[in-house]
Amino acid sequence: MSEESAARGRVLLIVSGGIAAYKVLETIRRLKQAGVAVRCVLTRGGAEFVTPLSLQALSEDRVYTDLFSLTDESEMGHIELSRQADLVVVAPASADLLAKMAAGLADDLAATVLLATDKPVLVAPAMNVRMWEHPATQDNLATLIRRGVSLIGPNEGPMACGEYGPGRLVEPADLAAAILRRLGAGAGEAEERAQPAAGPLAGRKALVTSGPTHEPIDPVRYIANRSSGRQGHAIAEALAALGAEVTLVSGPTHLPDPPGLATVRIESAEEMLAACRAALPVDIAVCAAAVADWTVKARGAAKIKKQAGGPPPALELAENPDILKTLSAPGAERPALVVGFAAETEEVAQLGAKKRARKGCDWILANDVSEGTGTFGGDENTVTLITAEGAEPWPTQTKRAVAARLAERIAAHFEDPSRTGAAGKAAE
């Protein structure tokens, strides 16, 4: 690695098997343009999709493939290889390599380097949706996150195998941006760390609400909405991937609890508010849940019977607590950054800006949930980020991509020296 590029950050990139391996070529190009030194380890599976020559040409450094190469061991042993970088990145991270990492196996160069490294590790998974959703993979990820490994992605979308869902490698621009952010102030600071960093939000506490609330009418029926919880869950995972200690307060959804973070499941808005208050103090609060505006004032103790030929029962509604406004209110336990969502069907940016002012939160993500958008229950979202500086429309993208982008913006917010004193960190 050249002295000039090494001064700006050094990355050891481990490329494992998968069709998405071609994306790392563009990632390397972007990192080199940013002045980052890149050295590559290529697994046997990865070599089925990209060649050592391609990686060497773009990284301008030797590519390592064989654990038992006597030449490599004499010039650059796997221990040295694992420790001369400021950040170790696995992209694409296959289900097989994630399993090896979780189990502490060392049967090839990539696994041995990962077991021997004392530097921060970032994994970017890519695999078939069924493999991603398998409990074994999710358990392995939970284990790695507990150990301080950071996660980016995967994105949702069509697969090379013809299926659709989460499992796509994040785009090169997003991966390169995440790597650059983790390199932070540069190699000198990274070398001084006694322990591997867990990400730019390490030491921060975050609260995320997700999903709908169910407001009971009687023991059988309830008032609800179409929220799936996918956006809120993705945000919780994205914040955890950047090192935050996350509490997810979730209404009723069909989604599994995200690995590596605390999930509190609730039913009603009252229960959600109580769970949020119990999670305080935190540095970050993201209110992504679609909380019902009203609840039934007098809930039936028994199932309300339909009277043949009679009028339908009259339901008297009462206003639910305003969780976003409550968390945004000034006070000792107000989070340093409060982010809300505004689900609108018209004049999205204008109404979102009004909601931000009305609730007193710092940011609003306003999204169009009108009929035909497929936002509720779908895989994509179109949002406009509204802050004190104005409105910033984001392109339509997957909910995981929205979450990753929001998490990166939150990390950048706390990295701003002008905000550090005011934000502080949540009290222990």
The domains found in the chain, sorted by start residue, are 3-192 (3.40.50.1950), 205-423 (3.40.50.10300)
Picking from 254, 157, 236, the residue whose alpha carbon sits closest to that of residue 403 is: 236
Residue 300 pLDDT: 72
> What confidence tens digit (pLDDT) does each residue in 267-325 have?
999 999 999 999 999 999 999 999 999 998 877 778 888 877 778 888 889 999 999 99
Residue 197 pLDDT: 40
Which residues, including other chains, have CB under 8 Å from residue 68's CB and lie 6 or more apart? none
Token code pair at residue 363:
């940011």
Bridge partners of 323, per DSSP, are: none
Token code pair at residue 49:
């999709």
Integer Cα distance of 13 and 87 in angstroms: 9
Residue 284 pLDDT: 98
Tally of CB atoms within 10 A around 291: 23
Q: pLDDT 10s per residue in the chain (428 long)?
A: 444 445 479 999 999 998 999 999 999 999 998 899 999 999 999 999 999 999 999 999 999 998 776 455 455 566 778 788 999 999 999 999 999 999 999 999 999 999 999 999 999 999 988 898 898 998 888 888 878 888 888 887 777 777 777 788 988 988 988 898 888 633 333 333 333 344 799 999 999 999 999 998 988 888 888 788 999 999 999 999 899 999 999 999 988 888 778 899 999 999 999 999 999 999 999 999 999 999 988 777 788 888 777 788 888 899 999 999 999 999 989 999 999 999 877 788 899 999 999 999 999 999 887 655 555 556 788 899 999 999 999 888 888 889 999 999 999 999 876 654 334 456 54
Integer Cα distance of 246 and 262 in angstroms: 6
Token code pair at residue 212:
């709908």
Going by the DSSP 8-state scheme, the letter that residue 304 receives in this structure is P
Active site residues: 161
Query: 294 and 217 in contact (C-beta within 8 Å)?
Result: no
Global pTM value? 0.56
Q: φ and ψ at 118, to 5 degrees?
A: -115, 20
Long-range contacts of the stretch 162-165 (C-beta < 8 A, 24+)? 163/128, 163/129, 163/130, 164/129, 164/379, 165/129, 165/132, 165/133, 165/379
Residue 187 pLDDT: 33
**276 residue type, one letter:** C
| Sheet with 363-368, side-by-side order of all strands | 262-265, 245-250, 205-210, 284-287, 337-344, 363-368, 383-387, 390-393
> What confidence tens digit (pLDDT) does each residue in 131-142 have?
988 989 988 888
What one-character-per-residue DSSP string does 162-209 give? Answer: S-EEEEEPPPHHHHHHHHHHHHTT-HHHHHH-SS----TTTT-EEEEE
Of the CA atoms within 13 Å of residue 406, those in its CB half-sphere come to 40
Residue 76 pLDDT: 53
What one-character-per-residue DSSP string does 367-393 give? Answer: EE--TTS--TTSSEE-EEEEETTEEEE
Residue 283 pLDDT: 97
Residue 273 pLDDT: 95
Picking from 295, 289, 259, the residue whose alpha carbon sits closest to that of residue 275 is: 289
Q: φ and ψ at 245, to 5 degrees?
A: -90, 110
CA distances, 330 to each of 101, 335, 337 (Å): 44, 9, 12
CA angle 61, 66, 68 (to 5 degrees): 125
Which residues, including other chains, have CB under 8 Å from residue 35's CB and lie 6 or more apart? 4, 5, 8, 9
Token code pair at residue 365:
């993500």
Bridge partners of 70, per DSSP, are: none
Token code pair at residue 291:
């909380």
> What confidence tens digit (pLDDT) does each residue in 57-83 have?
999 999 999 877 645 545 556 677 878
Residue 371 pLDDT: 59
